[in-house]
Amino acid sequence: MKKSEKPIIKHIPDFLDYCEIEKGLSNNTQKNYKRYLGKFVFWLKKTNKEDLKPHELTADDIWQYRLYLSRFHTYKGKPLKKITQNYYLIALRALLSYFTAKDIVSLPADKIKLPKDAKKGKTVKFLDLEQIEKLLLAPKTKTKIGLRDRVILETFFSTGLRIAELVALNKEQFANVKDKKDLELSIIGKGDAPRTVYFSARALSWVKKYLETRKDKSRALFIHYRSRKGVENRLTARSIERIVKKYAILAGVPIFTTPHIIRHSYATDLLTQGVDLRTIQEFLGHRSITSTQVYTHVTSKRLREVHRKFHSGRKLKE
């Protein structure tokens, strides 16, 4: 193992390159690491430790940083949520793991312990089918914007796409759908991993109606209608988030509804219909089954009700 004479701060760009080249992490993951490590850099500067080298980092430094996170308040005066604090710590652990991989003397990553609560399963929020139906029916499809928005909502629920994956869709991917009843579409998902998503007959019919109204030359499937000449008119992720929020309010479904909530609803619906976790993992494009297992608890109540109703033990004599 070698001691680095370069301060920790100066190692961060190399760490981000390592995430891209050797770990193959997505651009979004790299951006998140950079943002979360920015908080650690700020703390180092705040405590006059900006020249601290990897081998000089101590367990007490980690403890002081954790205290800083737990006592930090946002500009709105609110403390950081526990889950957010964990994201900062996870990014720092990743940096320490990088030092180990590069034979740079530093604290081992396992010296940063996450709180036990951080290891508990996430609470998944989702819409039931009645709420999904209300959401899908909310846009006024006689207008070109309403029709576009209906297609966005139908696509989310039919495919389980992530918002970035939906934003990246192009018209050319639907060039030969005129006589098709449904569609299998190959996409490049998170981490540049290819997978197939499926448009139901219902969703594809709305895509066809929408494409019939498109006379522009934009490559993007989903566009805004205020484009200026020479300016990309592809809808952004932020615009799509606002669209979903708008129709959630109009439909009277929970205010927490987002594109990712529709993705949760898609997965939950498949699970309640009896689809196994491994298949749902493939539909969602999860690298690990652990990510998919977050959905298992949402059906526990339903399974309990099914067991009570159908298990033959209730018919046996006591």
Record: fold of 8-119: DNA polymerase; domain 1 (1.10.150)
pLDDT in tens, 56-74: 999 999 999 999 999 998 8
Q: How far out from the chain centre does Cα 83 lie?
A: 15
DSSP state for residue 76 in the 8-state scheme: T
Rounded mean pLDDT, 89-118:
87
Task: Give residue 153's pLDDT.
Answer: 97
Task: Please state, in angstroms and rounded to a whole number, the distance separating the CA atoms of residues 95 and 16.
Answer: 9
Reported as type and span, the H/E element at residue 63 is: helix 59-71
Separation of CA 116 from chain center: 23
Which pLDDT does position 174 carry in this prediction?
Answer: 95
Q: Has residue 25 got a pLDDT over 50?
A: yes
The catalytic position among 39, 162, 171, 264 is: 162
Q: 213-241: per-residue pLDDT in tens?
A: 998 889 999 999 886 665 678 999 999 99
Question: For residues 139 and 130, what is the distance between their CA atoms, to the nearest angstrom?
Answer: 16
- Of the residues 102, 125, 190, 219, only one is catalytic, namely 190
200/207 Cα distance (integer angstroms) = 10
> Is 295 in the active site?
yes
Q: Where are the domains of the chain?
A: 8-119, 129-306
Q: What number of other Cβ atoms are within 10 A of residue 293's Cβ?
A: 14
Catalytic residue among 150, 263, 264, 266: 263
Name the burial class of residue 29, with classes exposed (0-12), middle (13-18) and buried (19+) by CB atoms within 10 angstroms of its CB: middle
d(CA 58, CA 124): 37
The token duo for 102 is 């590069």
The residue from 55, 208, 219, 260 that is catalytic is 260
CB 23 within 8 Å of CB 33: no
**197 in helix, strand or coil?**
strand
Look up the CATH number of domain 129-306: 1.10.443.10
- Is 55 one of the catalytic residues? no
pLDDT band at 312 (very low <50, low <70, confident <90, very high): low
Task: Examine the residue annotation and report whether 65 is marked as an active-site residue of this protein.
Answer: no
The residue from 53, 148, 171, 286 that is catalytic is 286
Say what the pLDDT of residue 228 is.
Answer: 67
Tell me what the pLDDT averaged over the chain comes to: 87
Dist. CA 271–CA 299, nearest whole Å: 8
Q: Tokens 């943002």 appear where?
A: 35
Q: In the chain, pLDDT over 90 holds for what percent of residues? A: 59
Q: What pLDDT was estimated at residue 91?
A: 92
260 is catalytic: yes
Question: For the residues 190-201, what does the mean pLDDT come to?
Answer: 90
The larger pLDDT score, comparing residue 31 to residue 253, is at 253
Instruction: Summarize pLDDT for 237-283 with one digit per residue, the tens.
Output: 999 999 999 999 999 999 899 999 999 999 998 888 878 888 889 99
